[in-house]
């Protein structure tokens, strides 16, 4: 079982996301070969793990994952793509390419890939609607809202310090800098959620809950910043991109374990999924389309991403 404990503000926390992104930049780029997507055996979630009545039943975890397609990113020999985040936007998937100062846009159904140049180097991204994404440009302390149907910036907002994780819920943007800024889509600050006391990198909002991780731990808090639970387990010390599904489960890219960690909404149950999918190579970012029940996962060690259809038991 996961270690689920009360959060103490004075507990010492790990290093910040700047060190993480430095590690990403220092990672040696591996050579890639074009591969033809192959079917992935359905990953059935077993139901023989114990749980108490107060916990979420294990059958609320997905019952299967089926590979829809593999995305291969073309890269010149002298070109290094640094992509540590991704998002769905309707039938499109979008990746911020930091080193090359652009967005890489593909579709769920086809192999079409196009590039959208940016004025700033994009680091973090979240989907707003079918045609719009919001991008955090960390080193410039700028958040831009971009309509990818006509490639225009609809709003731009400077933050008080470097911005990291970003998420959208009910047309509000949640952006981590020194605290968690809550912005409208025009870039106006609605309020600020006090920093939870850790140097978080990725974050995602689902209804009245905010999830974030600092590489070593996964946290859940309410929208006032009060930490409800913490997932902290020795085997999971390289946690990066995260998202939630339609059942409220939390998915975390477990880079060191070459798989995906799934945690129940109460933080008490967890499971490694897609561990038999041998094409994973240091997965670093992911996003979940709650309407269509599909997940996209981006590798860090090579220029590949994967889209899976997800099924739940009825």
Reading across the β-sheet that carries 132-137, which strands appear in turn? 124-129, 132-137, 142-147, 152-158
Element (H, E) at 19: helix 17-26
- CATH architecture designation of domain 38-311: 6 Propeller (2.120)
Q: What is the pLDDT of residue 58?
A: 55
> pLDDT category, 14, cuts 50, 70, 90?
very low
Q: Which two tokens stand for residue 314?
A: 């009825």
Beta bridge partners of 262: 251, 271
**Cβ-based neighbours of 292, under 8 Å, separated by 6 or more:** none
Q: What is the pLDDT of residue 43?
A: 36
Q: Counting every residue, how long is the chain?
A: 314
pLDDT(12) > 60: no
The b-or-e profile of 23-42 (16+ CB within 10 A means b, else e) is ebeeeeeeebeeeeeeebee
Q: Which two tokens stand for residue 96?
A: 């911020």
Q: What is the pLDDT of residues 238-252, one digit of tens each?
A: 889 999 999 999 999
Q: What is the pLDDT of residues 156-205, one digit of tens each?
A: 999 989 999 999 999 999 999 888 999 999 999 999 998 777 777 899 99
Return the higher-pLDDT residue of 257 and 273: 273
């Amino acid at each position: 079982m996961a270690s689920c404990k009360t959060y103490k503000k004075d507990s010492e926390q790990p290093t910040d996301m700047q060190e993480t992104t430095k590690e990403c930049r220092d990672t040696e780029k591996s050579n890639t070969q074009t591969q033809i997507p192959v079917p992935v055996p359905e990953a059935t979630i077993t139901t023989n793990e114990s749980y108490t009545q107060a916990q979420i039943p294990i059958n609320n975890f997905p019952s299967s994952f089926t590979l829809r397609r593999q995305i291969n990113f073309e890269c010149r020999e002298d070109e290094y793509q640094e992509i540590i985040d991704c998002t769905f936007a309707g039938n499109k998937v979008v990746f911020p390419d930091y080193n090359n100062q652009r967005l890489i846009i593909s579709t769920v159904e086809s192999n079409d890939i196009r590039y959208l140049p940016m004025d700033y180097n994009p680091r973090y991204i979240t989907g707003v609607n079918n045609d719009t994404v919001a991008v955090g440009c960390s080193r410039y302390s700028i958040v831009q809202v971009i309509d990818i149907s006509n490639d225009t910036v609809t709003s731009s907002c400077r933050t008080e310090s470097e911005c990291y994780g970003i998420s959208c819920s009910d047309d509000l943007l949640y952006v981590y800098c020194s605290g968690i800024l809550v912005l409208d889509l025009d870039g106006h600050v609605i309020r600020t959620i006090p920093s939870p006391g850790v140097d978080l990198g990725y974050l995602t909002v689902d209804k009245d809950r905010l999830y974030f991780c600092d590489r070593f731990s996964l946290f859940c808090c309410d929208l006032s910043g009060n930490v409800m639970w913490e997932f902290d387990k020795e085997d999971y010390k390289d946690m990066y991109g995260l998202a939630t599904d339609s059942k409220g489960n939390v998915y975390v890219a477990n880079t060191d374990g070459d798989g995906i960690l799934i945690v129940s909404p109460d933080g008490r149950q967890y499971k490694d999924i897609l561990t038999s999918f041998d094409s994973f190579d240091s997965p670093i970012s992911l996003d979940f389309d709650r309407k269509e029940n599909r997940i996209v996962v981006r590798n860090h060690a090579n220029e590949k991403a994967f889209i899976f259809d997800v099924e739940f038991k009825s």
